[in-house]
Every structure is written in C-alpha cells, then in structure tokens.
C-alpha cells in the first residue's frame, strides 16, 4: 500500500489564526492566486470536513487603490459572501506581514481602502477609519435617526446603527442574559431596512469601565469577538 502522503491530492498551504478567539484560515494568494468558489469557502469553514473558520482571508497584491499598502486582504464569510472588513482578521494578517517584512508599521488594502496597522510589542492594532452614523452610509433603506432604530417584532428595540467599515446594529439592554441573541439577531438581519443586513450587537453596561457585549455576525453566527 502506498504511503498516504504519496496519494493525497496536492493542496494549498494555509495558516490558522485567531484574534480574541475570532478564528480564521489565512491563505497567501500573492504568488499563486486563489479565487475560492462559494462551495470551497463553505467546505474550508466547516470544521466537520475542513480546518474550520469564521472567515477565510486571502492575501493578494495591491490594486491601484492600495497606494502605499504592503499587501491586499480579501475577507470571505463562511457562507461565501465577501465582507467589507474585519478588525481581528486584519490584525492577524498584519502580524504575518510584519513577521515577513520586519516592519512595525504597514498598510493593508481592504475593500479598496488602506488600513494602517501598528505593532507594539506583542500587540497589533489597526486603524479602522472613521465610523459613520449616516443612514445612507450604513446603509439603511430609508432615512431615520440611526441612534434610535426601531426594528419591529424582534423582542428588543432602540438599536444604534453604525458603519465601522461594515454595518452594525447595536442594542443596549438592562439584562444581557435575558436575551437570546441568536434568535433576535437572525430576525433583525432579515429586516428590509438593513440593505446589506448587519452584524447585530447586544450590550449591557456593567459599570463605568466594563460592558458585556456579543455579536451575532453576518451571515448568521454568534462570534466570540468582532
């Protein structure tokens, strides 16, 4: 019988990384381009058959929009859709590129914008750019007060809509544990007001220095961090 390594199909190297338990499969597509299909993305992200990940990150050469960036990063959700941004994924990619280059500061092109990343000891930070509360930038289907968004029939109300490179809708509640975020988040994400759906956040202010917070991310999953 042949050795399994002699008959196994040739694959592609990847790195599995996590930022605050937000976990990713990262693939370098600069020398050998990688354009995953929806089925490939779902397979890789499914921990039952693949390595498992919340998102797949592909590192690519920069485009004409990435002047000054070290590399480009594309982010794919587990359902095959492409995400606008992810802070933890960007920090993971930045760490790899800083190890590769020896730089402590570099730019990464994401969604045709350049995000600045910085290393301070073991910590990696990323400037996500300016946040927006403008209804058409989130984007919402109609003009409304984005600090008080009322989504009907979901069990909670008075959400705050904000774009942090991707759309979020955050609900502040008095009792975090009394809310089933997965159920509420799934209903909220289907609301036609949210043109691109949204990451649904649940927050409870514990004291002056602590907030209990969790996110139900697009395309429909609870995540440890965002």
Pairing of strands 113-120, 167-172: unpaired
> How far from the centroid of its chain's Cα atoms is residue 226's Cα?
7
Q: Is 226 a catalytic residue?
A: yes
Which residues are within 8 A (CB) of 213 and not within 5 positions of it... i.e. 6 or more apart?
201, 202, 203, 204
> For residues 133 and 149, what is the distance between their CA atoms, to the nearest angstrom?
11
Which residue of the set 45, 86, 92, 117 is catalytic? 86
> How far from the centroid of its chain's Cα atoms is residue 50's Cα?
19
Q: Is 45 a catalytic residue?
A: no
At 188, is the secondary structure helix, strand, or coil? helix
Task: Kindly tell me the sign of the dihedral angle through the C-alpha atoms of 94, 75, 19, 185.
Answer: positive
> For residues 43 and 217, what is the distance between their CA atoms, to the nearest angstrom?
19
* Catalytic residue IDs: 86, 226
């Amino acid at each position: 019988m042949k050795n399994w390594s002699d008959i196994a199909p040739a694959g592609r190297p990847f790195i599995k990384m996590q930022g605050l338990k937000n976990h990713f499969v990262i693939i370098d597509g600069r020398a050998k381009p990688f354009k995953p299909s929806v089925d490939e993305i779902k397979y890789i992200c499914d921990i039952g058959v693949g390595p498992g990940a919340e998102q797949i990150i592909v590192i690519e050469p920069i485009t004409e929009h990435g002047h000054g960036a070290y590399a480009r990063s594309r982010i794919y959700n587990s359902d095959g859709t492409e995400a606008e941004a992810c802070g933890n994924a960007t920090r993971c990619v930045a760490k790899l590129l800083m190890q590769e280059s020896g730089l402590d500061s570099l730019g990464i092109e994401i969604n045709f914008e350049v995000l600045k990343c910085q290393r301070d000891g073991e910590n990696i930070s990323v400037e996500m750019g300016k946040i927006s509360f403008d209804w058409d930038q989130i984007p919402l289907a109609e003009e409304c007060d984005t600090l008080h968004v009322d989504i009907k029939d979901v069990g909670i109300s008075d959400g705050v809509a904000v774009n942090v490179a991707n759309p979020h809708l955050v609900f502040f509640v008095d009792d975090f544990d009394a809310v089933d975020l997965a159920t509420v988040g799934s209903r909220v994400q289907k609301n036609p007001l949210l043109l691109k759906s949204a990451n649904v956040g649940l927050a409870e202010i514990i004291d002056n220095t602590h907030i209990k917070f969790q996110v139900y991310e697009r395309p429909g999953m609870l995540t440890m961090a965002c």
